[in-house]
Amino acid sequence: MTAEEYRAIAAAASTVSSTTRRRQQESTLQSRCVKWFRARYPILGDYMTHIPNEEPDRTRRKIGAAMGVVAGYPDLMLFIPARYRAEDGEEFYEVHGLAIELKNGRRGRHGIHQRICQMRMEVCGYRYTLVRTLDEFETVVTDYLKHMPKGLPDRIGKVSAEADKIRLEDWKKQEAKSVAKARKELQELIDAQKRK
């Protein structure tokens, strides 16, 4: 690479806005968190999802809003309930799920829409947390999952087994269609050869 090419690349990189860099870093953190979660809790992998509400261009934001996208929703949702003992030690209270907002290191700011969404979610029985590092994510999720209601892991295991059966049946149907199509195409080729 010539010095001129290197300067051109460096100049292009410097034109990337700080907002874009922050989003890229947050998306890297999010990818690492999801990858860790799915490796650590494979049976729960499909219970964590991303809510895409960060469209960069105005037209897509308008389309998203018309389709029901609301600004401020957390980056990740874990749809697993938890059961915590109240401060008096006698009562229990249920949490419907865990909302996780990811921020880039210490500099990422918890915006107004995100704070409003946090209030909405907490009043409806969700736990909401702000996470800035993979280590924080691991700690928060591990602690949260210790409070799963008894019997839930067994029920989730049964659902996973049933989901695997459904996927296998669907795969077999798709495979049968592919085989039938290949046989039909082969027969057409044979018939075409015979006609010649």
- The band of 9, judged by pLDDT with boundaries at 50, 70 and 90, is low
pLDDT tens, residue by residue, 140-181: 999 999 999 999 999 999 999 999 999 999 999 899 888 888
Sign of the torsion angle spanned by Cα atoms 150, 151, 153, 155: negative
Residue 17 has pLDDT above 70, yes or no: no
pLDDT tens, residue by residue, 110-149: 889 999 999 999 999 999 999 999 999 999 999 999 999 9
For the segment 183-194, the average pLDDT, to the nearest whole number, is 86
Other Cβ atoms within 10 Å of 26 Cβ, number: 19
pLDDT tens, residue by residue, 29-55: 999 999 999 999 999 999 999 988 777
Nearest Cα neighbor of 69 from 108, 111, 117 is 117
What confidence score (pLDDT) does residue 176 get? 87
For residue 21, give the 3-state DSSP assignment: helix
For residue 94, give the 3-state DSSP assignment: strand
For residue 51, give the 3-state DSSP assignment: coil
- CB-side exposure of 99: number of CA atoms within 13 Å? 21
What confidence score (pLDDT) does residue 154 get? 92
Total-model pTM: 0.73
pLDDT tens, residue by residue, 62-120: 888 888 888 889 999 999 999 988 777 777 889 999 999 998 766 677 889 999 999 99
Tell me the average pLDDT of the chain: 85
